[in-house]
Amino acid sequence: MTWKLLKLSAATALFAASLPAASLTLTPSTISGAPGSTIGWNFSLNNDTPNWIIINNVAPSGFNPALGAFTEYAASNFNVVAPNTVFAENFNGSLLQGFGQFEIVPGAIIGDFTIGSFVVGYDTYSTDPLLDGGAGFITGTNTFVIESARVNVVDGVPEPATVILTGAALAAVLTLRRRR
């Protein structure tokens, strides 16, 4: 490898590392729930770019439909993320907040799981689209890719040993209170 080529490769790597970027993270990446329950993901969008971002589409793939169904919230809620900010939203099914929800079918078997991925499309704007009516639109072909998101089916009823220990602790507390 020539010295010029080596310098060019180093300069390209440095330039690529210094470009502003945006990232989307699901938290946690694995969620768990009992058969018949609805669970969901929190998310954060770190916008280190000079542009405004709006999520416009969430496309799930790979999840086993026999285990349940995904409903997205991130694109439907029209969250506008300003340049150089972090937007985060916790899952709240009753308020339709967070990244989205997974409704586990009532007949799911404890121990089952499904793993899927998401392609999340977003628009970029040079100015705040809420203030300028979208006049600063740049492009709508950007995507985030969430490679792996997992849903576990767990037992929603406490194990008998947990119930016994909780009952014993409660009895001990009540006994101590009566002695005083």
So what's the pLDDT on residue 92?
97
So what's the pLDDT on residue 162?
52
Q: Please list the pLDDT of the chain residue by residue as tens digits (180 residues).
A: 554 544 444 444 444 445 679 999 999 999 999 999 999 999 999 999 999 999 999 999 999 999 999 999 999 999 999 999 999 999 999 999 999 999 999 999 999 999 999 999 999 999 999 999 999 999 999 999 999 999 999 997 554 455 565 666 666 666 666 666
Distance CA 81, CA 124 (A): 10
Residue whose structure tokens are 């793939």:
61
Global pTM?
0.76
So what's the pLDDT on residue 109?
96
So what's the pLDDT on residue 154?
97
Residue 45 near residue 23 (C-beta atoms within 8 A): yes
So what's the pLDDT on residue 87?
97
So what's the pLDDT on residue 50?
96
Distances from the Cα of 166 to the Cαs of 54, 61, 129, 170, in angstroms?
47, 41, 53, 6
Residue 40, Cβ density class (10 Å: 0-12 exposed, 13-18 middle, ≥19 buried): buried
Distance CA 59, CA 62 (A): 10
Residue 96 near residue 76 (C-beta atoms within 8 A): yes
The structure tokens listed for 98 are: 């967070």
So what's the pLDDT on residue 10?
46
User: E-assigned strands of 62-136?
Assistant: 68-72, 80-81, 85-89, 100-104, 113-125
Domains annotated for the chain, with CATH where assigned, are 20-179 (2.60.40.10)
Distance CA 116, CA 26 (A): 13
